[in-house]
Amino acid sequence: MKHLNIYLMLLGFSVFTGATFNLAKYTVVYFSPSSAAAWRFGVAAAVMLIILIFTEGIKKSQLQQNIVIYIVLGLIGIFGFNALFFIGLKYTSPVNGALIMGLNPLLTTIFARIILKDHITKKQVFGICFAFLGVLLVITQGSIETITTLSISIGDVIIFAGSVCWALYGVLGRKFIKNGTPLSTTTYTMVIGAVSLIVVSLFTSNPVSIPNIPIEAWGAIAFMALFTSVLGYLWWNQGMKEIGASKTSLFFNLVPVVTMTISFAFGTPIKVFQILGALLVILGVLTSSGVISLPKYKAEKQSAA
């Protein structure tokens, strides 16, 4: 199958990101949100820089040509997305936040159409619809009351802004990066974002002092840094380059499914509607990526008797 490696990478992105929600919930017991993000992306940026130096090398012409867009993408996709997401969760419920983040593939498709002039196929439209319906079922557990009682708060607006940042990160990078590779783009934007997060973290304090933070919490930070940030962002940018913004963004909808599965593994029961939602999300991804083809109806001419 064409682009099979890319789809497997994006599946890995979904798995790592899904695990990150569980790990982040654990780490904020010991770290402030800004400090956790700073440690995560500080380590990730250092690793990415080392990898870049020993593989592609730092190309001054490439850096000079794209320095402005690297700064913009770092502030939007690394600093902006993470800062807005954590701040938004202080003022709204996880249900509201997850529902809003579920709009990301739709936002990315819209931005790709406006900015990149990408053509939106019927398969992508059906895929987005299937996946978003699946996300609704996973998060609300099939309860209509959960949806009808949702209310818009300042936190919802902030998280929506974070979702916009993530959508723009991929689309703008594909539009404006000249002669760049997924590795160089991920590295330079991550360095910019990490520096920004570190600066902000200097003005906050942790719930627990550094010497008293357990090794498990540091392990969670290391996992998020190496797998979610390094491999995850790298694979995401590779997907944007190879298969486009709309198809790549749809894999973001697998994240709640992964989070649900991990929670189940640790003893949280799963309901029927959540399983049905997970299947719809998978169906949406497979439809949009072309693994499953939509039925075609051809009009047949009838001969006169």
In order along its 305 residues, the chain shows pLDDT tens digits of 567 889 899 999 988 988 887 788 788 889 888 888 899 999 999 999 999 999 999 999 999 999 999 999 999 999 998 888 777 877 776 656 666 776 777 788 888 888 988 887 777 787 778 777 777 776 666 666 666 666 656 877 888 898 899 899 989 988 999 888 889 999 999 999 999 999 999 998 888 898 999 999 999 999 999 999 999 989 988 888 888 877 787 787 777 777 777 777 877 676 777 677 777 777 777 776 665 665 664 444 444 44
Rounded to 10°, the helix 255-265/272-289 angle is 140
pTM: 0.77
- Is 189 among the domain residues? yes
- Does residue 79 contact residue 40 with C-beta atoms inside 8 Å? no
Domain tally, the chain: 1
Is residue 94 a part of any domain in this protein? yes
The token duo for 176 is 């404006």
| CB-based burial label for 179 (10 Å; 0-12, 13-18, 19+) | exposed
Picking from 262, 268, 246, the residue whose alpha carbon sits closest to that of residue 126 is: 246
Confirm whether 44 is domain-assigned. yes
In which element (H, E) is residue 21 found? Answer: helix 4-27
| Residue 16 within a domain | yes
Given a contact cutoff of 8 angstroms between Cβ atoms, the answer to whether 52 and 58 are in contact is: yes
99 within domain boundaries: yes
**Whose CA is closest to 12, among 242, 188, 262, 235?**
235
Which range of residues forms the domain containing residue 134?
A: 1-204+215-289
Distance of alpha carbon 138 from alpha carbon 94, whole angstroms: 13
The answer as to whether 7 is a domain residue is yes
Q: Is residue 298 part of a domain?
A: no
295 in any annotated domain? no
Q: How many Å apart are CA 212 and CA 276, to the nearest integer?
A: 43
Closest CA to 166 of 78, 38, 240, 40: 78
